[in-house]
């Protein structure tokens, strides 16, 4: 049975493979980016939950009781920290819907698809952990009794494996890691029904930022990236030519 002790135990357990670098070694502009170490990440997550508690308590002074969202959030983060899906029936509706940049515009339907998508990241980055950023949680309550939450967070870990995209199996396109430590931000939105179960959600992140930060994609001022950009001219020219050719000739 889930309780506060399980959550605290999971949060305190080391996740990241050593060594963790002091700075990101990727190809992103903007100067050297300092890595947040595991102690800082744990402290940050604890502070996020403290902030969330204060926000929920403030709503209570207005006659709005959403205390259940705190327990939901702890179960949710616990399940991904320890890779335990036994509480999914308490977190998600069976027909939940979810989107992510790696679905290429598709919507995943059902808990099984949602879990398979998440484990694609764990397979690629075995020590992958999520940590919400303090102060960056936004709550919206609808007149129909629904609750919607947006959270911004950090993902951290060593990109050792292959990140499969949809459909997250051996047939899927994949990006192969080189062991580089990555740390990048993402934003999640969650929609809940009146029973407190997630009905739909979405993860939004800058895939180019993540791949450049991890050293997978070259930097924006490199000759390799400029060559890739120039290569798009041929496709654009071909597309423009096809538009100019009369339909009768094109057939």
* pLDDT score at 246: 63
In contact, 212 and 184? CB cutoff 8 Å:
no
- C-alpha–C-alpha distance, residues 23 and 36, integer Å: 9
Residues 6+ apart with CB under 8 A from 164: 120, 123, 124, 172, 173, 174
- C-alpha–C-alpha distance, residues 72 and 93, integer Å: 13
Measure the CA dihedral 54/59/62/66, to 10°.
Answer: -130
- C-alpha–C-alpha distance, residues 121 and 163, integer Å: 6
Per-residue pLDDT of the chain (251 residues), as tens digits, is: 789 999 999 988 999 999 999 988 776 666 678 899 999 999 999 999 999 999 999 999 999 999 999 999 999 999 999 999 999 999 999 999 999 999 999 999 999 999 999 999 999 999 999 999 999 999 999 998 899 999 999 999 999 999 999 999 999 999 999 898 999 999 999 999 999 999 999 999 988 777 777 777 777 777 776 776 787 777 777 777 777 776 555 55
What is the value of pTM for the model shown?
0.86
């Amino acid at each position: 049975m889930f309780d506060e002790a399980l959550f605290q135990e999971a949060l305190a357990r080391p996740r990241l493979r050593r060594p963790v670098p002091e700075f990101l070694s990727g190809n992103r502009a903007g100067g050297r980016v300092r890595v947040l170490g595991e102690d800082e990440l744990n402290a940050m997550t604890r502070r996020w939950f403290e902030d969330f508690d204060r926000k929920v308590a403030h709503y209570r002074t207005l006659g709005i009781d959403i205390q259940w969202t705190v327990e939901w959030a702890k179960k949710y983060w616990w399940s991904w920290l320890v890779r335990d899906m036994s509480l999914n029936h308490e977190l998600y509706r069976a027909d939940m819907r979810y989107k992510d940049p790696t679905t290429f515009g598709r919507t995943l339907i059902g808990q099984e698809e949602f879990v398979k998508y998440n484990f694609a990241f764990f397979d690629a980055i075995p020590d992958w952990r999520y940590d919400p950023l303090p102060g960056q949680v936004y709550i919206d309550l609808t007149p129909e009794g629904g609750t919607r939450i947006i959270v911004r967070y950090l993902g951290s870990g060593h990109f050792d494996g292959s990140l499969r995209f949809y459909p997250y199996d051996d047939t899927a396109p994949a990006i192969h890691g080189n062991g580089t430590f990555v740390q990048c931000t993402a934003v999640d939105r969650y929609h809940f029904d009146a029973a407190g179960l997630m009905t739909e959600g979405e993860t939004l992140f800058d895939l180019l930022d993540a791949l450049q930060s991890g050293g997978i994609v070259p930097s924006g001022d490199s000759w390799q990236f400029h060559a890739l950009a120039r290569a798009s001219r041929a496709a654009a020219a071909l597309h423009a030519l096809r538009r100019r050719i009369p339909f009768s000739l094109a057939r």
